[in-house]
Amino acid sequence: MTVDVPRELRVLADADRLEQVVRNLVTNARQHTPADGGIRIRAARADGQAAIEVSDTGAGIAAEHLPHVFDRFYRADASRSRRTGGAGLGLAIVRQLVTAQGGTVSAASDGPGRGATFRVTLRAA
Asked if residue 121 has pLDDT above 70, the reply is yes
Domain that holds residue 53: 2-123
In whole angstroms, how far apart are CA 100 and each of 11, 43, 91, 110, 122?
A: 14, 20, 14, 29, 10
Strand partners, 2: 40
State the average pLDDT over residues 20-49: 95
Mean pLDDT (the chain) is 91
CATH of the domain at 11: 3.30.565.10
State how many domains the chain has.
Answer: 1
State the average pLDDT over residues 68-94: 72
Pair type for strands 104-108 and 39-46: unpaired
- pLDDT over 90 percentage in the chain: 83
Asked if residue 81 has pLDDT above 90, the reply is no
